[in-house]
Amino acid sequence: MDTGTHAVMGVGLGGLAMLDPAISQSPATQQAVMAGAIIGSQAPDFDTVLKLRNNAVYIRYHRGPTHSVPAVLLWPLLVTLMIYSFIPEADLLNLWLWTFLAVFLHVFVDIFNAYGTQAVSPFSKRWVAFGVINIFDPFIFLAHIAGFIFWRYGADPGLTFASIYSLIIVYYIWRCIERNKVVKNVRSRHPNATHVFISPTFRWQLWHLVIRTKEQLYVAESRNHRIQYFETYPFEPIPEDPLIKKAREDDNLAAFLSFSPTYRWKTRETEQGYEVTFTDLRYRSKGYYPFVAVVRMDENLHIYASYTGWIYSEETLEKRLKQSEVKLKTS
């Protein structure tokens, strides 16, 4: 989920904790639990600081180690000890329990969007992504805002958020059912499909699709359970072409390939040499594919510019590649 949704969920959990008299009747514990829930709900995303280094490092590691099984156990301990050092009057067990719940729910809800996490690491490096909830879901966010309003005007926070989270659980179940209906419809049309990549959108009945068979990749969408096809590409392994082989040595392309499970690639000659572009097919929007990796090489296959990330115009891409070129020249 996005940072804003994780933030409101942290406050909501702090409100839910008021159901426990041991918390609601102790101002120190109440304050500590609220802080633990808010910080814990953000802790797994502290790896966002990797953006300060470069996009390649961020893409490769974001939602990786910080969302792993060890991290889910470690974050609550670190946050709890930090808060307890400032509020030693708080009940330590309750503080840890609600901080742990906040961290766990952060990772848990993240696996329901199309990006997913490495939530089962170190047992597996596989990305877990169910493709059920959009990265920002207005219903979930606004449900929390409604809860805050009721709380502000005197409603019991524990009962209010118990009701809201019960409603959200039902919402998740309904979204899972709708997703499964879309996948079932796709497989009825493509019984030989080896994988169906599904990405939810803001609209409940609109889903982005990439359908993989042994021979083809179909880029499509499901709108009100009607499938519309946009592009078709041959499905084949990345070739052992010297140009692409050299491009794969670049950190940006390596990060892209570690994250993207379905893509196409193309090569072209330029005035300076060659360009290799990999495009993630999952996020088609208005005919444009915004998540890409681009590597540029001279005639001797020396990499002089590269970039990976979200790009929504050719002008922005050129700007990022120019910045990369300058950094490589000065490094």
- Render each residue's pLDDT in the chain as its tens digit; 331 residues: 888 999 999 999 999 999 999 999 999 999 999 999 999 999 988 877 666 566 777 676 677 788 889 999 999 999 999 999 999 999 999 999 999 999 999 999 999 988 888 888 888 878 888 999 999 999 999 999 999 999 999 999 999 999 999 999 999 999 999 999 999 999 999 999 999 999 999 899 999 999 999 999 999 999 999 999 999 999 988 988 899 999 999 999 998 998 888 999 999 998 889 999 999 999 888 888 999 999 999 999 999 999 998 888 888 888 888 887 766 655 5
Alpha carbon separation from 252 to 49, 53, 78, 87, 309 (Å, rounded): 17, 12, 32, 44, 9
SS3 category, 214: coil
Q: How many CB atoms lie within 10 A of CB 196?
A: 19
DSSP-derived secondary structure letter, 239? P
- State how far the Cα of 324 lies from the Cα of 77, in Å rounded to an integer: 39
Count, residues in the chain: 331
Contact 1, 113 (CB under 8 A): yes
Dihedral pair phi/psi, residue 305, rounded to 5°: -165, 145
Instruction: Tell me, yes or no, if the pTM score tops 0.85.
Output: yes
Dihedral pair phi/psi, residue 217, rounded to 5°: -120, 125
Alpha carbon separation from 288 to 212, 268, 320 (Å, rounded): 20, 19, 18
pLDDT of residue 146: 97
Q: How many CB atoms lie within 10 A of CB 198?
A: 21
Note the Cα 110 to chain centre separation in Å.
6
CA-based nearest residue to 278, from 247, 302, 299: 247
- State how far the Cα of 35 lies from the Cα of 29, in Å rounded to an integer: 10
Contact 290, 312 (CB under 8 A): yes
For 178, counting Cβ atoms within 10 Å of its Cβ (0-12 exposed, 13-18 middle, 19+ buried), the class is middle
SS3 category, 177: helix
pLDDT of residue 53: 64
SS3 category, 202: coil
- Element of type H or E holding 234: strand 226-234
pLDDT of residue 50: 62
The encoded tokens of residue 56 equal: 């390649």
